[in-house]
Every structure is written in C-alpha cells, then in structure tokens.
Amino acid sequence: MKLRFSLALLLCLSLVGCSVEGGAPVGQPTVQVQTPLPTTNPATSNLWTLGLTEEPVDLYPYSYAFRGAAPLIELLYPAPLTVVNEAYTTTGVLERVPSFENGDVQYITTTVNLDSNGVITTTQTETITSVRQLTVTYRWNKNLQWEDGQPLTAADSVFAYKLLRGSASTAQLATQSDLTADYVALDEYTTRAYLPPERDDPNYLITVWTPLPAHLFEGEPSAKQVSDRLGQSPLSYGPYKLKAWTAGTQLEFVRREGQAEQLPSTIVARLYPDIAMMRDDVLSGRVDVAWTEGSLEQLAPELKTDVQSKTLQLLQAPNPIWEHIDMNLAVVALQDIRMRQAIAHGFDREAISTSLYGSPKAVLHSWLAAESWAFDPTTAVSYTFDPDYSRELLDQMNYLDTNSDGLRERPDGSPFQLTLTTSAQTPIRQRLSEQFVSDMRVIGIDIKIEALSTTDLYSQQGPLFGRRFELALFGWLRSVDPDGAVLWSCAAIPNQINGYSGDNFTGWCMDTADRAIRTATSSLDPEVRKAAYSQQQEIFTRELPVLPVITRQTTVLLAPRIRGVQPQPLAPITWNLSAWQR
C-alpha cells in the first residue's frame, strides 16, 4: 500500500456574485448550501472591521502558515472548492463541483509498464499492460480576472501545479502532489487532473490547484521567487485587493470594481495582542466581527456576563485541529489495555474543555469528528471521567502505592513514571499537559513532561517517527474526508523499511482494523466506506492506542447587531461574507 500524507485543509471562500452549488465527492453526503441572499441593509459603502489575535505571516495561498491567515487570504484568492456542512461546494471559481454524475469524474484506460514483480513503474520495461485511471475535470469561471486586468485562465492553475508539484513544504502540497500524476489544460478554461493509474482515492477533489498569476513571471521561476513576490504584495483574483498592511496594527482590503455590491466596500482587519483587548473593542463598537483559536480561560466570567447581558454575541465551532495522546505500544506498561483504559478514565477531559472553552463540547470520543459523515455514534466506545475505576484497574495490574507517598510502584516494586512528550510554546498543549499531570497524580501515576521544539518533535529523526517516546501529546488536522490509512494502517508504522514515512506512531496493528481502514480509504462506494469506518472506529476506541482529547474551538465575538455570520469547522469565517448584516 502506498502511504498517503496527512491531509491539510482546503479552506475556501465563496466568490460573491456567483451562484453556490452544493456538491460532494463520491463517498460523502451532498449537503444543499443556499446562495447567500443580498442583505436587507446593503453594505455598499460600509467599512467593516474584523478583529484577529494572530497576524498573518504572509498572504500567499500556498503558504506554510495558510491556515491562520485563511479568512484574509480567501478575500484575495478564493480556493476553487470549499467545505460547508461537511461537503464540497463551489465558490464561483469553478463552474461546478466535479462528480461522476455530471461526467467530470471518470475513468479512462491507459497503458503502463510493469516491473518484474508486476508493479506499475515509470521506467520503460518489456511488460506493458492496460489499466484504468481516474481523471477529474475542472471547469473554470470564464469571467474571473486578476486585479491588473489580465484574465484568469486554466494556464494559471497549471502554472501553480508545475511550480509546486513534488513539494513537501506543507502537508497539503505533499498530499496534493502525491495524488496528482499529471495536470493539464484542455482548453483556456478547463483543466484535468490524472490520478496515478489504478489509484482509486476518495480524496480526488484535492487535485485542483489554486491559480497563481503566470503572466507575472518569465521563464521557470522558483517556488521561493513566486512566494516572496506574492506573499506581501498579492495579486488578487478574488472580490478584494490589499490596499495597505501596517505591520502589527492592521490590514486594509478594498472591494474590486465589478464585485457584488452587497459586499462591504472596505474591510479592515485589526490585530490584537490578546483576546481581552479585542473583546473590549467589540463591546465598544470599534470591531464588528472578531475571532480567536486561543483559550477563553482568563475571560470566561466576563464573556458569560457579556452574553447574558446581550452586549456581545459569542459563537463557537470546532476547528480542524484535534489534540490526542499517543500511547507507544512498545512500552511494556502500555501494552496492557487496562493501563490505557485507566489513563483514559483518569483524565478529566470535560473539565479541561470547560476551562478552555466554557463548555465540555470540545471533548472527542473518536478520531473521527462527531460532525463527520463517517462518524458512527453507535460504535464509538466512550471513556467518561471515573478515577475510582482507574484506581481499580491499576490495582488489578498490581501497580500499587507500597510506600504511601501517593504514587504507585511497578509490580516489581520499582518507581513507576511515564513521560509525556509534547511541543513547547503551544499554550493550549501546555494547559492540557498541566491538567493531565494533575489528574494522573490523583490516580497515583507520576507523569514527567518533555517539551520539545516543533522542529525536534516532528523531525524524521525525532521521538515520534523513531517511536522513542512513552506518551505523546500533539495534534492532527482533519479534513472533509477522514482518510486515516497513514494514521492507523499496519503499513503506516514508521520503520526503516518504509523510510519512516507513516504516522502510526503507537505501532498499533490489528488485522481486522487494518482491513477496515484499507477498505475505507480505497473504495469509492459511500456505503462500503461508511461501514468500514464504523468497524474500524469500534476497534480503535475499544483498543485505545490513542486517546482523543479535544478538538480545538474557534470562538467568534460579534457586536449585538451583527447577523449572518456562520462559523464552519472546515471553512474560513469569511466564507459567507455576502450574507453578513448589521
């Protein structure tokens, strides 16, 4: 099995003035998304002010820091497809969502070379055979223009592909490149992606490439040359263009000529060092819409009072980052399922969710998000907070406190301690670690924290890929299609043979679960996939190689008069900007 890369997100914003057509790839439900209606109070001449707690690194659509800047980047470079209500939908950049039903997704027959083992190879051999190949055709809006007046064409999307194919600078690019065997322009406004021969991958819609302005660059520029030029001085094809960027203070965007008049004429994105100052400006009326992915812990009482007194509105939606604790099954103590269960029942995840976000709703009970079409609540095994049961399980295993110091010893009488490896300088992860250490001490388990830099933690030579850890707290990004082969298949256990390319860091491998995840990630039949995910989820949550902790939340603060803002887990907050009212 060829390992996939972890999926990043396709976060997009709808182009105002273009219709929104619901659609989804095979294997995922179709959700009808209504076209945002013109506001009853058009914002033609209005200035709207947004509040952010994180300044963008740049405004480049292929940036490594894209996710944090997505709501602003999408004003300039709306992605071809976005995910709303857990389904792909058009944004106006494409004429429609490709599907088997409309003929834009189809199989062709192609010839390939086989090596001596019968495996497809790009090297010319004496053995040639015919196989099927999945293709996806993308039809581009013929009315789009770059802000300098040049038309946006299929060549701009192909330019991005040729510039960035093979890149692993982001997880999204690595996955996209891996899945795109070729990408060509059929005519001025049509592109076609070819998946690798014999590769039936449900994620086929990630093979569309966000356009870049090919006409600005002569010859064959490097990816760095393009990102350096566009990162701070973007050339928009979206509804807005960047007017000014005052570092550390604000960014100002103005509506381009010809864009729908229900859009604000000007958007100012103000930057704040913390949520407290941002809240003050929402209360004073200086900010219309503000958002943060940070903790609300320091402001929880004030925000509760604000909402009760109706001086501001507070909305929350899960974002794609989900935190989890991996339990390395190479560690003898963790090989006993009772130890893993004791840890799960002893960690008060509801308490930490409530502290961070004001409610227990962020707690995860599976690696599949509750919002996902693949999640099956009937098969997920939940682990409620029950420290008494944790103590009972530890007693059964003969991990006892023999010297009355509050901490348990191993069955042989030696001190029992586990190390939790995590990333340094990640505030939410630091807070989760503190809660975990405290809760484990209550049931008699001594936890030591090892905080590493992000570079060291995720390095190919680091503790995760080398499986040199006991417990590890870190996060994954989810997308509309769960995938999961790179996380849970037996072939994804990183080792020397596979070049340490898998993300199954715990080393968990069960035949039934492995078959289920292979089926779920290789079939295009939605019913087959859903049944396979349900089976894998039941085994995964029962065996518990990984404890899902929380899914991070995006918190949106609104002035009382604001209407129409609808935060989504997999789309930027600005996805339906044309529907905002005040």
CA dist., res. 333 & res. 80, Å (int) = 49
Please say whether the beta carbons of 506 and 327 come within 8 A: yes
- Please check whether residue 453 lies inside any domain of the structure: yes
Which pLDDT score is estimated for 26?
35
The number of angstroms, rounded, from the C-alpha of 225 to the middle of its chain's C-alpha atoms is 27
Beta-carbon count within 10 A of 384 CB: 12
**Alpha helices, DSSP H, located in 272-331:** 275-284, 300-309
Which pLDDT score is estimated for 395?
98
Please say whether the beta carbons of 349 and 536 come within 8 A: no
- Please check whether residue 142 lies inside any domain of the structure: no
CA dist., res. 480 & res. 320, Å (int) = 10
CA dist., res. 300 & res. 140, Å (int) = 46
Residues forming beta bridges with residue 291, ordered by sequence position:
52, 556
3-class secondary structure, 34: coil
3-class secondary structure, 141: coil
Rounded mean pLDDT for each run of 10 residues along the chain, 582 residues in total? 38 27 34 37 69 96 92 96 94 97 96 81 83 97 98 98 89 91 98 95 96 95 96 97 98 95 95 97 97 93 96 96 98 98 99 96 97 96 98 98 97 98 95 98 99 94 96 96 95 91 95 98 95 98 99 97 96 94 91
- Please check whether residue 434 lies inside any domain of the structure: yes
- Please check whether residue 96 lies inside any domain of the structure: no
Which pLDDT score is estimated for 4?
44
**Contacts of residue 395, Cβ cutoff 8 Å, sequence gap at least 6:** none
Beta-carbon count within 10 A of 285 CB: 11
3-class secondary structure, 581: strand
Please say whether the beta carbons of 557 and 284 come within 8 A: no
Our CA dihedral for 310, 568, 379, 507, rounded to 10 degrees, sits at -120
DSSP string over 427-462? HHHHHHHHHHHHHHHHTT-EEEEEEE-HHHHHSTTS
Which pLDDT score is estimated for 444?
99
Which pLDDT score is estimated for 51?
98
Residues forming beta bridges with residue 581, ordered by sequence position:
563
DSSP assignment, residue 573?
Answer: G
CATH of the domain at 399: 3.10.105.10
- Please check whether residue 426 lies inside any domain of the structure: yes
Which pLDDT score is estimated for 21?
26
- Please check whether residue 411 lies inside any domain of the structure: yes
**Total domains present in the chain:** 1
**Contacts of residue 238, Cβ cutoff 8 Å, sequence gap at least 6:** 13, 15, 74, 75, 76, 77, 78, 256
- Please check whether residue 450 lies inside any domain of the structure: yes
Which pLDDT score is estimated for 10?
27
Report the relative pairing of strands 240-246 and 190-194 from DSSP bridges: unpaired
- Please check whether residue 416 lies inside any domain of the structure: yes
pTM, entire model: 0.88
Where in the sequence is the domain holding 504, given as residue range(s)? 319-552
